[in-house]
Copies of this chain bind each other. A is one copy, B any other.
Amino acid sequence: MQECTGPWIRLTIARMKGFSRLTTIKDALNTFYETVPLQRMQAETLRVISCLGRVLADDLTCPRDVPPFDRSAMDGYAVRAEDIYAASETNPVVLALTDTPSFIGSPPREALDKGQAMKIATGAPMPVGASAVIMVEYTEETGPGKVEIHRPVTPGENVSARGEDVKAGQPILTAGTFLQPQDIGIMAALGLSEISIVCRPRVAVLSNGNELVDAGAETVPGRIVDSNRPTILSLVKASGGEPVDLGIVSDDRGVIVQKIKRNLGSVDMVLVSGGTSVGEKDFLPDIVNSLGKPGVIVHGVAMRPGRPAALCALGSKPVLLLPGFPVAAMMAYDVFAEPIMLKLMGARSRAHVRPTLRAAALRRIPSSIGSRSFVRVLVMKKDGRTVFEPLRAMGSGVISSMVRANGMLIIPENKEGVEEGEQADITLLRPLEEDEI
């Protein structure tokens, strides 16, 4: 039982030292960034089709005109606009058809001379000499090799000009963009088959606690299943990182030291979620401090839940200590781990746009001035209004509250609660029922 006496000893120590100072979320991040020289991950070359959801490494300018040639935007006849400027229904202009039409997929075999028209389908290249396309609706083939034109066209009409979509040299996508389907499409359109992409940061995730077992393991009295690790591994994936599962570590200093030391070289960041023992406040920070510089940078954050979070680093590698309570761990991940990962990726935004919704509070929600509060809420329609109420079971250990909530109310540090009836912005965690398909 040697290892089990650990927490209790530490508890009595922790009892004497409260958090003498809580740092705001913003100050904590700023202090972290000032202390730790984060370098953007290296880039790798990938096939464009594999890049969905990845971060573009370099600004992308168009290497060539798109479309690469003038082409018809309509089915009809390529003409010289000046030949038919006076054409009308009652006074049609008759043009001579070229011997060959303009086929899709290859350049026209003939140039267009004065007085001539060339059959052309949408997307087919314009012949040399032509300046516009007259739609098939306003023409009539009156005899072999002859076409009557019933309307004039302006130069350029119904032509999709070379470079109309994108011109060579034009900026298209900015470094740091999470690539979306349309971005994959435009890169293909530009003729790119490979592209430089920021490597995914490898993020080690481990859970600390003597009480923890993995789901599916034999049920042991007094043990609980580690839900933080599966959640955080999934969050890392959703943020664009590559999760590395380091498993559960008991409250054994030697084991934790060894696990971090052995893996630090092959990962870009480490996330540890503590056991549920608040008494162990300085257990992991002390271990991190013993492992190298700068060690613990910020410990104790003005946020609820999430107060015991700590931002540390070993060399230039971020090491984040997330609280053991599941909801607190998720919130600390959200405000610290994801932003730091995004910095490592040089990303300009989160991987997914965060939808928010304006809704009225069904009852007063208290919060403490000076702390940022994260309140799990249920957003709903009621008598045509969009309203929300906080969930009842709100302990930061109650993970089901994150599953039952469909929104998160964030009360900033300078605000004391939300009044009944007050409008507030709710970050949606799930689609609302009425948004469903």
Contact = CB atoms under 8 A, between A and B. Distances in A.
A277 interface: yes
Contacts of A125: 221-222
A75 B11 contact: yes
A193 B181 contact: no
15 contacts: A1-B103, A15-B137, A49-B233, A67-B224, A73-B395, A104-B251, A104-B275, A104-B277, A105-B222, A121-B277, A165-B397, A165-B399, A181-B235, A182-B231, A354-B431
Given A75-B279, A191-B219, A436 B49 contact: no
A188 B230 contact: yes
Contacts of A160: 395, 397
A249 to B, nearest CB: 13
Given A15-B136, A49-B233, A194 B216 contact: yes
A119 interface: yes
B69 A105 contact: no
Given A75-B277, A105-B223, A165-B397, A8 B186 contact: no
Given A191-B215, A210-B104, A437 B182 contact: no
A343 to B, nearest CB: 8
A389 interface: no
B430 A230 contact: no
Task: Work out how many copies of this chain go into the complex.
Answer: 2
Contacts of A257: none
Contacts of A292: none
Interface in A40-92: 48-49, 52-53, 66-69, 71, 73-75
Contact of A123 (B1, B211, B342): B211
Nearest to A216: B193
B279 A122 contact: yes
A187 interface: yes
Given A104-B4, A277-B121, A226 B188 contact: yes
A435 B354 contact: yes
Given A68-B224, A402-B182, A403-B186, A11 B121 contact: yes
A434 to B, nearest CB: 11
A412 interface: no
Interface of A: 1, 4-5, 7-8, 11, 14-15, 48-49, 52-53, 66-69, 71, 73-75, 101, 103-107, 119, 121-125, 136-137, 160, 164-166, 172-173, 180-194, 209-211, 214-216, 219-235, 237-238, 245, 251, 275-279, 324, 326, 330, 339, 342-343, 347-350, 352-356, 393, 395, 397-400, 402-403, 428-431, 435-437
Given A103-B1, A104-B210, A276-B123, A353 B431 contact: yes
A153 to B, nearest CB: 17
A214 B186 CA distance: 13
A278 to B, nearest CB: 5
A397 to B, nearest CB: 6
A278 B74 CA distance: 7
Contacts of A350: 431, 437
Contact of A107 (B67, B121, B221, B348): B221
Contact of A231 (B7, B181, B352): B181
A61 B104 CA distance: 58
Contacts of A210: 103-105
